[in-house]
Structure 1
Amino acid sequence: MMTLDAGEYFHLALHAVRQNDHHAALQYLKQVLALEPDNAAAHYLMAAEHAELGLFDRAIQGMEEALALRPDLEIARFQLGLLHLQGNRTQQASTAFQALESMATDSALLAFARAYLALISDLPAEAVPWLEQGIAQCDNNPSLKADMNRVLDSVRQKLEPAPAESLTTSPENTDPEKGLPASVLFLGAYRDSLKDENDPH
């Protein structure tokens, strides 16, 4: 029986991800990590799959493992910040975005990190120009661009004067403490951040 190597298992995992076959993707990624435990791309992709499945604690752990191996994986650091926001851990999210702000070479991710830092500080008006700048520069990741457009729309709606008959904000639409858009985590961005090679960056 033919034995596959880590690179082949990784490509099979990518294909499974794009087919929304989470079970197969996780199986292939476990094979990759059995052969190459320090494969940062596999840790990243497994974290993304866990996030897709709603296993956010596992996703956070996986992103942290990927970053421990490859601190320069900027998309992983950005997604780590979003994962912390998903769990209302704003301090941890701020730490992730601040770290990204200090080292980002991707201008779009830098702008998005600054936008989220403004949102966490309850400064939505300051977040808008950063979101606009990031969107204008985000041409290599269509899903992330679409997701950030949705965030921008949500922030703009928050800045609009509330109708007289509805002066309160629904808790389903915002974070009760900071007024953050509820949909702070958009998982489509994971897929377009992955290339057909053993390196997500």
Structure 2
Amino acid sequence: MGQLNGKELIKKAYEAILNHDFELAVEWFEQAIAMEPDNASYHYRLSITYARNNKLSKAIEHASQAIRLDPEEDHFHYHLQHLRAKEIILKAENYIDDSGAQTWMAIALLKQAVALDSLSSEAYLMLGIAYSQVKEYSQAIQSIRELLKLDPQHEAGIELLEQYRNKLKHYMQS
């Protein structure tokens, strides 16, 4: 059997994904890209696989490359925005602390994440938590409501909404 072509390599990558072997999938995608470096969809697909493996910088690198190769493709742009939002959320986690001293930085970052990806339930959850730490309970409630619009069954969100409503009530009474 001769050398596989790009489409066959991509098929092998998807077989690996179905077998939950993401490392092997990455290898197949990389071989396809080596064969067709200007194929934007190969970079895009590899980016998705890297994102699933929590290799965010590699995912962003390949998503950016897909856009450079095919700037007209909208879902490449949405994917990159989603990845950048994820990157910002991870950065924001470093600023959330119980003292609230750096929490405003986390809030600023999380607002950026929400602006990039308005479907990120994780960003709304963390934003709600961050606002509650600085006793901005109405903002915390608003953030958790946005989370529950996206995921009405989100258990932590349901509990936090009740908690923040009670804290707001006590805060207003004192």
TM-score range, shorter chain: 0.5 to 0.7
Tell me which structure has the larger Cα radius of gyration. Answer: 2
1:88 aligns with 2:104: no
| 1:155 matched residue in structure 2 | 157
1:114, 1:22 → 2: CA distance? 25
Identity, % of aligned positions: 18
Q: Which residue in the other structure is 2:57 paired with? A: 57
CA distance in 2 between partners of 1:154 and 1:78 (Å): 22
Normalised TM-score (structure 2): 0.57
Who is 2:99 aligned against?
none
Residue of structure 2 equivalent to 1:98:
115
Q: What secondary structure, in the 3-state scheme, does the structure 2 residue paired with 1:20 have?
A: coil
The answer (yes or no) to whether the contact 1:63–1:80 under 8 Å persists in 2 is no
C-alpha deviation, 1:129, in angstroms:
3.9
Which residue of structure 2 aligns with residue 27 of structure 1? 27
Change (3 A) 1:63 1:125: farther
CA distance in 1, matches of 2:42, 2:2: 22
CA distance in 1 between counterparts of 2:140 and 2:66 reads 31
Aligned residue-pair number: 139
| Letter paired with 2:92 | N
- Higher relative contact order at CA 8 Å, sep ≥6: structure 1 or structure 2? 1
Following the alignment from structure 1 to structure 2, what is the Cα–Cα distance between the partners of residues 153 and 34? 45
Shift of 1:12: 1.6
**1:47 is aligned with what amino acid?**
S
Change (3 A) 1:117 1:129: closer
Say if 2:124 and 2:146, in contact at 8 Å, map to a contact too.
Answer: no
Which secondary structure does the structure 1 equivalent of 2:92 belong to?
Answer: coil
The one of 71, 74, 84 aligned to 1:72 = 74
Gaps of 5+ in 2: 94-105, 132-138, 165-174
Decide which structure has greater helix share: 2
